[in-house]
Amino acid sequence: MKLLDLRKLAKSELRSLGIDEQDADFVIAETLNCRVTDLPLIDEVLPKQVVAINKNLAKRKAKMPVSKIFRHAYFYGLEFKIDNKVLSPRQDSEILVETALKFIENNNLTTALDLCTGSGCLAVSVAKHAKISVTATDISTHAINIAKRNAKNNGVDINFVKSDMFERLTGKFDLIISNPPYIETQTCHNLDDEVRLYDPVLALDGGADGLDFYRIIAANAKNFLALGGYLILEIGYNQKRAVKNLFKDYNFVECVLDYGGRDRVMVFKNE
């Protein structure tokens, strides 16, 4: 079969289902184990390749995200193994990494803690791009195991601790970063199928008002943050004011916007 015909058909099928048609090329390229930019160079695909492509396209049509179909995702230029039991890294969270790297460099921070590490995407990206000792925690043993694998595959050394938030932590850190669950419980039931069906609720549900984890962090972070240390948190686009209120005991430094111009990352200082 001509690959161009297959691509056109796949794109129109995804479009008719309200799915970004570009995903057709991502699915086809991943299945053929090549880059999207190589696709125009391929004329024919073998019948068995067509079968494999259609099998993966069927998953995408069932709203499975491309990252979940192929069990890996790219984040901050690195590759991360993932599965249905860990959150797929979101592009907007790269803003948190970028912000953390800026504060690490400008303030010579040497120790960091990543709370709620999931796939480890934040911890691994920071450890990969800065000279800093990183500790990362999650309540999920499965997430910790995946994050350990991601650290190893990306050649960084991270101290992983399975912990319910701060419970099993000791010591002080120059920097605490976190992308905690922050979606209101009620909203979790109404999320897009791509999120609701394929990301674990443990990674999403932030309690009745979505702020449970920020409350825990606000109440405990001072015990684990060095004086003059920084706290960098991802937030929901509409949570800036509420989170600022919760962190009244810390100095608000800035709120960084995501690629879509929405409030996404808040920085506080322990002074």
Ligand X SMILES: C[S@@+](CC[C@H](N)C(=O)[O-])C[C@H]1O[C@@H](n2cnc3c(N)ncnc32)[C@H](O)[C@@H]1O
Q: Which residues bind ligand X (CB under 6 A)?
A: 87, 89, 93, 116-119, 121-122, 137-140, 143, 164-165, 179-181, 202-203
Phi/psi of residue 90, nearest 5 degrees: -100, 140
Compare residues 139 and 208 and give the one whose CB is closer to ligand X. 139
CB of 139 to ligand X, least distance (A): 4
Question: Of all residues in this chain, which one has the CB nearest to ligand X in the complex?
Answer: 118
Structure-token match 């004086």, residue found: 227
CB of 30 to ligand X, least distance (A): 20
Q: How many CA atoms lie within 13 A of 188 on its CB side?
A: 19
Nearest residue to 199 (alpha-carbon basis) of 179, 176, 177:
179
Structure-token match 């930019």, residue found: 37
Compare residues 61 and 149 and give the one whose CB is closer to ligand X. 149
Nearest residue to 172 (alpha-carbon basis) of 220, 140, 208:
220
Q: Classify strands 78-81 and 72-75 as parallel, antiparallel or unpaired.
A: antiparallel
CB of 111 to ligand X, least distance (A): 18
Cite the beta strand spans of 165-215 per DSSP E. Answer: 173-178
Compare residues 158 and 165 and give the one whose CB is closer to ligand X. 165
Compare residues 53 and 86 and give the one whose CB is closer to ligand X. 86
CB of 90 to ligand X, least distance (A): 6
